[in-house]
Amino acid sequence: MLNFKLDEEFVNSYKDIKPDFGFNGLGQLTYYRTYSRLTENGHNEQWYETVRRVVEGAYTLQKEHILSNELGWNNRKAQHSAQEMYDRIFKMKFLPPGRMLWALGTPIIHQKRVGQALFNCAFVSTENIGKTLEEALKPFTFMMDMSMVGVGVGFDVEGAKKIEINAPTSKHEEIFVIPDSREGWVMSLEKLLFTYFSKHFGFNNASVVKFNYEEIRPAGIPIAGFGGISSGPAPLEKLHNQLRDVLHRLDGKKITVTAITDIMNMIGQCVVAGNVRRTAQIALGEVKDKEYRSLKDYRWNSESQKYEGSMAHRAQWGWASNNSVNVDESTDFEEVAKQTAINGEPGFVFMNNIRAFSRMCDPADNKDIKAKGTNPCGEQTLESYELCCLVETFPSRAESKEDYLRTLKFAYLLGKTATLVNTTWPETNRVQKRNRRIGTSVSGITNFIGEHSLDVLKQWLDEGYHEIQKWDDIYSSWLCVPKSIKTTSVKPSGTVSLLAGVNPGCHFPEFNYYIRRMRLSKNSSLLPAILNSGLHIEDDVVDASSVVVEFPIHNQGKSLNTVSIWEQVSLAVFLQKYWSDNQVSCTVTVKPNESHEIKTVLDYFKYDLKSISFLPKLEFGAYAQMPYEAISKERYEEMSAKITSVDFKQVSEDSIGEKFCNNDVCMVV
């Protein structure tokens, strides 16, 4: 399967080295919970094996590309390069995205050729749904297909009012037996939407489609390849019924902003409930569109009644997307800032800056004039149907600036390698091969500032950015592909930063000393390995079938208790200026006494930002077993002193659960 192999003696030299996972065991448990795959001997991978799989998968993709284009492969040089990449990943100087940690080097990529499984994020526009029936269906099927392999997808609502919805009236029925596959689920969505969209395009006798769900595996059966446990057909059947309800209410009417968002959100709800893959969405609409801005106002009020009667029903699925508005320097932020101060939505996307600029410290280059939106977390500029792969680097874990610059070579190369794969979507392949967009990210920024200074960070980032451009020249020439349109980002991170033990992205920690809690099923085979670890474990007060594990965490430098809204946004602007030619994902925590300042902050920084979001500060300690709890330095030291080494080497297939689960309430089952 993999036609590039690392030297066996080299790999074995890492077998007994203890990986430097972060946060007093939290990073190690996160790795086994989320990224360690089942091996042929029935046990989960160890870290050295995961790194091997990823590196061999990457260099296999390079080798296949070089050989298929007859460009000349040098195995000696490749072995030397691959070994250095291996070492830097093993030591967590940089890490692949979660998608790569899970999928690279597996049959998903190298046999089934589902290349999109390597990518973090995508965007699709609905602007062309009025052109042809195929264009009308495609954004929705794209959303479902990508979501089912773990890609987070952004979408816009530009297709509103461009097609008329008509309920099928034919007396003929089509029975569609849904295949038990990703493609089968997507095909069922396409067939259902066809019956409501087709009349607009001159197809007047579409049959009424009815579904047979008998081939879909029962609930509780393991899903090979992508991981997780089958939910059975129930979530898909629910999606079909929800879509019929929404579209029936629009019979004879133009598709609305609300309906487009409903369809996308329902797809996201189905994918999550279907236990096929965790997903994420972002919706993008115009700031002046009152219907769009009312999407998450679930109350019975006069504003929402103008559009869909009551928005109350949307609470069932509206959570599936973060909603943002497109703004520019002429926007009056008064009303929308007040709305954001309530629950953190909408976020703000500055498409004029996105299209005109790479780094904001450089002159406008208009490289991204075709850009249509962003990924769900807002760090990626994207055209419609475009994907991006985000590789994470940790300057705070580098031994020196020179060491960090060297790491950037391999982080960049891993991202560039992802652009060599084909996806199952021709539209995506076309834009991918043209743009070769990647996102080399930095994480643990606030850790680095705490240890060094903002001036040192500026030097490292500015030199690092140019270092990446140098390697893009070299490797694009070697691979005979276009240079990447954009190369750098700041992603919000998630479980990947937990592995390395750094703060996510550019965010400040909640506290300097705190407890981070993780929930596990009492049946998890991960649990026995930590029972005698010295970590505090107690029964879950909400779920009797689970336990809560407490990890003491210490973060140097500032915490959100002492950092203002202005300092958080200023750091995002700093990174947009000196590092990210794509975007910076920054969710600004807003204290109650700062909510009135959102408008002023947006007015002041609207010339420097590409995207930003705000979240009102939650009150910690409001209920038992909160994900985060502030503690004293003395309690931290007391808890840390009790922790002993944890041995997960005997973890078996019983630990397999839902993968890419990176929120605070996820459990391994």
Q: Which residues belong to the active site?
A: 377, 379
Secondary element (H or E) of residue 212: strand 208-212
**Backbone φ and ψ of 4, nearest 5°:** -125, 130
Nearest C-alpha neighbor of 52 from the set 19, 22, 27, 21: 19
- The DSSP result for 483-526, as a single string, is PPS--EEB----HHHHHHT---TTPPPS-SEEEEEEEEETT-TT
Residue 640, classified by CB atoms within 10 Å of its CB into exposed (0-12), middle (13-18) or buried (19+), is middle
* Residues in CB range of 599: below 8 A, 6 or more apart: 333, 334, 337, 338
Q: What is the largest CA-CA distance in the chain?
A: 75
Give me the DSSP letters along 384-417.
TTEEE-EEEE-GGG-SSHHHHHHHHHHHHHHHHH
CB 282 within 8 A of CB 374: yes
Task: Report d(CA 387, CA 582) in Å as an integer.
Answer: 13
212: which strand partners? 177
Q: Which residue, among 49, 13, 11, 14, has the nearest Cα to 31 in the 3D structure? A: 49
Strands 439-442 and 390-393: what pairing? parallel
Q: How many alpha carbons fall within 13 Å on the CB side of residue 27?
A: 20
Distance CA 559, CA 454 (A): 16
Measured CA to CA, the distance from residue 282 to residue 347 in angstroms comes to 10
Q: Report which of 120, 116, 217, 153 is spatially closest to residue 439, judged by C-alpha positions.
A: 120
Q: Are 659 and 226 in contact (CB under 8 A)?
A: yes
